[in-house]
Amino acid sequence: MDTTEKEKMLRGELYIALDPLLCSERERCAKACSDFNTNTAATPLERANLLNKPHHPPHRQPPFTADYGYNITLGPGSFINFNCTILDTCPVRIGARTLFGPGISIFTASHPLSAAVRNGLKGPEDGRPIVIGDDCWFGGNVLVLPGVVVGDGVVVGAGAVVTKSVPSHCVVAGNPARIVKRLEGFVEPAGMAAAAMVVEAKGREKEGEMERLVKRLDALEGELAGVKGELKRLSGCSCSPDIISTVSRVQPVTSRYKDTVGTENLDHDQPNRPAEGEQWPYLEKTCAARIRSSA
């Protein structure tokens, strides 16, 4: 019994790609992809509906290109990054939680090796399905050729060309892709697993410490304002016992300021301190300079 070119295509047999029905379906998919890629104002669900995939929003980034669209099955939680091309003349299954980097190409389409049979656009072509398991991760610019089956939990290195099927739980890389590491029983190093948490915690700790320092500096500026008022009142006085008593009250302020910003000792008994009658103006200028430099 005769079958349509579309039925031959879906079975992986030789078929004529310029069949009118197949041409109209590719045109419909091209329009849907164009709408998806350009309609940036649409919601994720609306953009998913453009490709007739309403159950799997919003994990595809434009631009996205496909031949027919209806032969693609995306598992829940999967993610397709920018500039992905899927030639889905035969079924393409992408498993749950599988992640695609940018520039991924999935090709189920193929052509006869014989030039006489291939005959340019007049001859037939064929294809073979591609299956990609759950929990895989494909680096950028990976190419997967017709008939490949990729197992669960596979990591494919960036730029790899996957020409043959890959067993579960391994790392493949290169052209053609080869197994470079087995992942059965693999446990992520604790340091790597905790690195992000440590960085985040340090960031929060730094922000909190800065906030505390700002509050302490604000309080110190308030104390310094009071000291400056007292200095103005006592300006021009000789170093009497009353002034010595006042110095003892100011010293804790300068000590706290030193602890806050980590500066050198501001006590009035420095080796190059001014004469006794100039102690108060000198202390006022020194404290004010330290505050300005720490702001």
Residue pLDDT, tens place only, 200-213: 777 777 777 878 88
The band of 295, judged by pLDDT with boundaries at 50, 70 and 90, is low
State pLDDT tens for residues 139-182.
Answer: 999 999 999 999 999 999 999 999 999 999 999 999 999 999 99
State whether 40 and 141 are in the same domain: yes
DSSP count for the chain of H helices, then E strands: 7, 17
Instruction: Report the Cα–Cα distance between both ends of the chain, in Å, rounded.
Output: 88
**Do 143 and 283 sit in the same domain of this protein?**
no
210 and 139, same structural domain?
Answer: no
Q: In what order do the strands lie in the sheet with 155-156?
A: 79-80, 99-100, 137-138, 155-156, 170-173, 178-182
Domain encompassing residue 244: 191-294
28 and 60 housed in the same domain? yes
Q: Residue 83 belongs to a domain with what CATH number?
A: 2.160.10.10
Residues 181 and 216 in one domain: no
The pTM score is: 0.62
* In a shared domain, residues 100 and 224: no
Whether residue 203 sits in one domain with residue 279: yes
User: Count of domains in the chain?
Assistant: 2
Catalytic center residues? 111
